Amino acid sequence: MYRKDGESYFVVDGHVHFWDGSPANQANVHGAQFIDCFYDYHKNLSPAEWLWPKEKFYKYTEADLLHDLFETGYVDKAIFQPTYLTDFYTNGFNTTEQDGAVAENNPGKFIVNGSFDPRDAESGLRALEALRKRWNLQGVKLYTAEWKGSSRGWKLSDPWAFRYLEKARELGIKNIHVHKGPTIRPLDRDAFDVADVDVAATEFTDLNFIVEHVGLPRLEDFCWIGTQEPNVYGGLAVAMPFIHTRPRYFAQVIGELLYWIGEDKLLFASDYAIWQPKWLVEKFVDFTIPEDMTEYPALTPDVKRKILGLNAAALYDIEVPAELRARVVAQPEAEVAVGAST
């Protein structure tokens, strides 16, 4: 946990990877474009002292991951979010199997999420069932802009996507993480549009849709969807590092999210290894919304506690230390969920 000024914060990093973007794994120029775009985000939004050389960024070690998350990063539990990109990388960029091997090496530290692609039709449904059985999946990470052959993306509202969401429901996979954020070269910007979340969330009210990157740069669209759909949440990866480079913009983003969708539906995420949780957690705990932004709710320690870990703990039935359970200020159903595994 992170402790500061007499306050304690249980930290769940809701979006981490263990990727291989090295030249040896790049299947074509698109693989190089993708990891180089990631690196541009890393170097443009990170404090100078947290920058990695490109070679390390391409492929870091399991020891790096464990050190940065758990030894120095204050993380109590991390959630792996796979991104396959098998058209760009020979062995995949960041697969469930890669993540799962790390999780098995380090019991109790990680939650392993899977993935699906509705363009895989019937064979993909069988593969999802196998992933669920192998890794006890509670969630999946979906990448609607991923290329597959001549196809350059898909939508949650597609008929085959509905088949997969029905399968997820059948298998007890309740948390549907969807990348809906800034484009990444060479992927197409419009394939990350948030409108299809609205359709899926309305039809599958018993599933939780976590919109990763809170829809940026479509924040307003996401807020309108998130405020009307009680099963839509916001993952703060990509939004978080603006706390360093553009703190007033970050105040606007977090303020809009608090105003529209509320403190109970926002999840902290570092997007490791694009950014590292240590400096993000420290800066977030110290952050206050400027006094002149009076239209936004207060960002109190209790609100920060929810965002940093308690909200994700409720979605994934993660046990929370007793000292924090007693301090949760939330709706009754959220209180039950946070303590469900104890």
Q: Give the model's confidence band at 330: pLDDT under 50 very low, under 70 low, under 90 confident, else very high.
A: very low
> Average pLDDT, stretch 213-230?
96
Can you give the pLDDT at residue 246?
A: 97
Task: Assign residue 126 the CATH number of its domain.
Answer: 3.20.20.140
pLDDT at 328 over 80: no
pLDDT at 335 over 70: no
Whether residue 2 is contained in a domain is answered as: no
Q: What is the pLDDT of residues 48-70, one digit of tens each?
A: 999 999 999 999 999 999 999 99
Can you give the pLDDT at residue 333?
A: 45
Whether residue 324 is contained in a domain is answered as: yes
pLDDT at 327 over 70: no
Domain count, the chain: 1
Can you give the pLDDT at residue 326?
A: 58
Whether residue 3 is contained in a domain is answered as: no
Token digits for 143? Answer: 């990448």
Whether residue 14 is contained in a domain is answered as: yes
Domain containing 260 equals 10-338
Token digits for 74? Answer: 């204050």
> 53-68 in b/e burial notation, b at 16+ Cβ within 10 A?
eeeebbbbeeebbbeb
Whether residue 116 is contained in a domain is answered as: yes
Q: Give the model's confidence band at 334: pLDDT under 50 very low, under 70 low, under 90 confident, else very high.
A: very low
Q: What is the pLDDT of residues 195-221, one digit of tens each?
A: 999 999 999 999 999 999 999 999 999
Q: What is the pLDDT of residues 249-297, one digit of tens each?
A: 999 999 999 999 999 999 999 999 999 999 999 999 999 999 999 999 9
Between the alpha carbon of residue 299 and those of residues 14, 153, 288, the distances in Å are 20, 37, 6
Whether residue 5 is contained in a domain is answered as: no
pLDDT at 340 over 90: no
CA 189 distance to own-chain centroid:
19
DSSP string, 103-169: HHHSTTTEEE-B---GGGHHHHHHHHHHHHHHHT-SEEEE-TT--BTTB----TTSHHHHHHHHHHH
> Average pLDDT, stretch 324-337?
50
| pTM given for the model | 0.93
